[in-house]
Amino acid sequence: MVRISTLLGAVSLFQGSLAAYSLTQDYSGSAFFDQFDFFTDNDPTNGFVNYVDQPTAQAAGLINTNNNVAYIGVDSTNVATGRGRNSVRLSSKNSFTHGLVVINLGHMPASTCGTWPAFWTLGTGATWPANGEIDIIEGVNDQAANQMTLHTSPNCAVTGGSGGLLQPYSQDCNTAVNGNEGCSFHETNPASYGTTLNQDGGAIYAMEWTSDGISIWWWGGGNPAPADVLGDNPDPTAWGPPSSQWAGDGCVWDQHFLTHQIIFDMTFCGDWAGQVFATDPVCSAKGACTDYVANTPGDFSESYWSVNALKLYQDNGADIATNATKRAAASQAAPQDIPKASQTVDAKAAIKAAQAGIDKRAAASQIAPHLVPKESQTVDAKLAVSRAQADKAKADGNGKRGVDQMAEIRRRKYAHLA
């Protein structure tokens, strides 16, 4: 269970107006599934998956709200045939423009070969990607840490330095370039995703979307969340720098992000997990992706979401649109320029963490997989190897984000929304 801090912290790195969010939608509790539609078409990303409707999911034990916690799982008992392994994909019935989405996860699908879980928001009312996509939690196979990405129509990019702890892995959000890689941030902390997140008792994620940009925070791995994060009026300006932040004048954010729905999905193999399955030494040893997923149901007993709380907050009239800009500006200050009185333990830790993250990513991009001794391949080393492989694949033009391949993947993924 993620701990909630009992102190908000009197001093913040950021000075600005008090954020004024009010709770507008609480998905939590016994009515969770009444607030979502169940997607049952063929998987747009060609996954080996059979998305089922609500009655079927209920009867098969793939969903429940026992103890007011929403469980969203997959069939981990039967050999899969036909379209693939039974699973659930949800889209919120309501849509929103601007706001703060906060999720308290007790568990997410584990880092298991063949899996491709995602928690994200998607623009409606226009052909993708006109109204944008925000991937809050996403990964494949035995991926060790979270990947956060935006996908947009042309003329949207992250410019300058990030206001978050991480620096952009890729900056152009336009789906028509770089094989639709999007503008992404790659976490380096394994507590942010999958198996390690689960071992640590879960995590809380918060995504803020304003006219000035988009930010994502997360708390887990023993790092307590702010006391107000799931309260009636959370204040992101008091939370310190986010993990990831997309801001700057390279994008008119209100032109590229509109009317989003919240989505959970859990697919298998397909155009990403399946494509890189054979390049992963652990996964490739299991044979073909679809054969493995079909014939080893017990290996997917940990492929489920456990949602303790999910809430949407929106502006109640105060100035919150400038929060992202203020954080971005604050992130440019050198440590010596921050008054000592403001250098709380949290502020110093944030500065140190940011620099450590930059150094680690810079080093990781230089590591060739064959140069990492097996006995040294800890979680961090594996992350470095994965990044090096991704960089090489990107340069070769044949990785998961290969230009022609990924453009076609995304076209198929959202064809049903046209």
Tokens of 339: 């008054």
Dig out the tokens for 272 from the structure: 């990403």
Cis ω for the linkage preceding 129 (within 30 of 0): yes
Quote the crossing angle between the two packed helices 379-396 and 345-364, to the nearest 10°.
50
Task: Kindly name the residue from 133, 181, 208, 302 that is annotated as catalytic.
Answer: 133
Residue 285, phi then psi, degrees to nearest 5: -70, -15
Which amino acid, residue 320? I
Assess contact for 87 and 49: CB atoms under 8 A. Answer: yes
Judged by DSSP in three states, 50 sits in strand
Rounded alpha-carbon distances, angstroms, from residue 395 to 8, 62, 167, 273: 44, 41, 20, 20
DSSP three-state, residue 184? strand
> Residues 133, 174: contact at Cβ < 8 Å?
no
Instruction: Spell out the alpha helix ranges (H) of 133-280.
Output: 194-199, 253-256, 275-277
CB 331 within 8 A of CB 168: no
Q: Which of 138, 181, 187, 208 is catalytic?
A: 138
Tokens 């000035």 -> residue: 212
Is 138 one of the annotated active-site residues of the chain?
Answer: yes
| Burial track 269-296 (b if 16+ CB lie within 10 A, e otherwise) | bbbbbbbbbeebeebeebeebbebbbeb
Secondary structure of the chain: what % helix, strand, coil (to 5)?
A: 30, 25, 45
Three-state DSSP state, 381: helix
Task: Report the alpha-carbon distance of residue 48 to residue 267 in Å, rounded.
Answer: 7
- Catalogue the active-site residues: 133, 138
